């Protein structure tokens, strides 16, 4: 039962352009959403989060959008840089409970 889905296994983007990573969820009780970034042989590192009371959160080049009616969130990276190449995981939770992760999207930023 995949409650959090990242349907694109990989994404390739030119340096300087926008990267858009998508995530869908099925559990309407989720109220907290996060994006993590992971390099090979390292643990995931927190990138940005959004609570269900908001529809947008921005931090520098990273913006997360939440569409509760569609149960969809997306991460925008503008402008994309080669150092952004990594695996990006979407995660969600009900308050106080464990994070549920998607399968990840491999982002490759070409210079």
Partner 1 sequence: NAGVMQNPRHLVRRRGQEARLRCSPMKGHSHVYWYRQLPEEGLKFMVYLQKENIIDESGMPKERFSAEFPKEGPSILRIQQVVRGDSAAYFCASSPSPGEKLFFGSGTQLSVL
Tell me the two tokens of residue 36.
Answer: 């993590």
Using CB under 8 A as the binding rule, whether residue 102 contacts partner 1 is answered as yes
Q: Tell me the CB-side half-sphere exposure of residue 78, using CA atoms within 13 A.
A: 8
Contact yes or no for 88/23 (Cβ under 8 A): no
| 17, two tokens | 């352009």
CB nearer to partner 1: give 65 or 101.
Answer: 101
Q: Of 11-19, 64-72, 78-86, 91-99, which segment contacts partner 1 by CB under 8 A?
A: 91-99
Site map 40..79 versus partner 1, x via CB under 8 A: -xxxxxx--x------------------------------
In what helix (H) or strand (E) does residue 107 lie, and over which residues does it extend?
strand 105-110
Q: For residues 66 and 13, what is the distance between their CA atoms, to the nearest angstrom? A: 22
Stretch that binds partner 1, among 18-26, 56-64, 76-84, 90-98 (CB under 8 A): 90-98
Q: Which of residues 34, 73, 75, 109 is near partner 1 by CB under 8 A?
A: 34
Copy the structure tokens of residue 104.
């990840």
User: Does residue 99 bind partner 1 (CB under 8 A)?
Assistant: yes
Tell me 98's DSSP state: -
Q: Which residues bind partner 1 (CB under 8 A)?
A: 6, 32, 34, 36, 41-46, 49, 89, 93, 95-104
């Amino acid at each position: 039962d995949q409650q959090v889905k990242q349907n694109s296994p990989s994404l390739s983007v030119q340096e300087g352009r926008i990267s858009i990573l998508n995530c869908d969820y099925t559990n309407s009780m989720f109220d907290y959403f996060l994006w993590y970034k992971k390099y090979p042989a390292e643990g995931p590192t927190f990138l940005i989060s959004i609570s269900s009371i908001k529809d947008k959160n921005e931090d520098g080049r990273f913006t997360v959008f939440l569409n509760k009616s569609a149960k969809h969130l997306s991460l925008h990276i503008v402008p994309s840089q080669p150092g952004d190449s990594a695996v990006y995981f979407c995660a969600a939770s009900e308050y106080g409970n464990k994070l549920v992760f998607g399968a990840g999207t491999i982002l490759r930023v070409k210079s």
